[in-house]
Amino acid sequence: MLRKVYDWVMSLAGSRHAPAALAVVSFAESSVFPIPPDVMLAPMVLARPQKAFVYAAICSLASVIGGCLGYAIGYFLEPVGIFLLRLIGHPEGQAAFQAWFAQWGLWVILIKGLTPIPYKLVTIASGLAHFDLFTFIWASVLTRSARFFLTATLLKYFGPAIREEVEKRLAIYTAVGVVVLGGGLIAWKALG
Question: For the chain, what are the domain ranges?
Answer: 2-191
Select the more confidently predicted residue: 170 or 131. Answer: 131
Binned at pLDDT 50, 70 and 90, residue 114 comes out as low
Q: Mean pLDDT, to the nearest integer, of 73-94?
A: 79
Burial of residue 102 (CB within 10 Å: 0-12, 13-18, 19+) is exposed
pLDDT of residue 174: 57
Q: Mean pLDDT, to the nearest integer, of 60-84?
A: 92
DSSP string, 29-81: HTTT-SS-THHHHHHHHHH-GGGHHHHHHHHHHHHHHHHHHHHHHHHH-HHHH
* Contact present, 25 and 33 (Cβ < 8 Å): yes
Select the more confidently predicted residue: 47 or 10. Answer: 47
Instruction: Find how far residue 192's CA is from the centre of its chain.
Output: 18
- Inform me whether the pLDDT recorded for 105 exceeds 90: no
With a threshold of 0.85, does the pTM exceed it? no
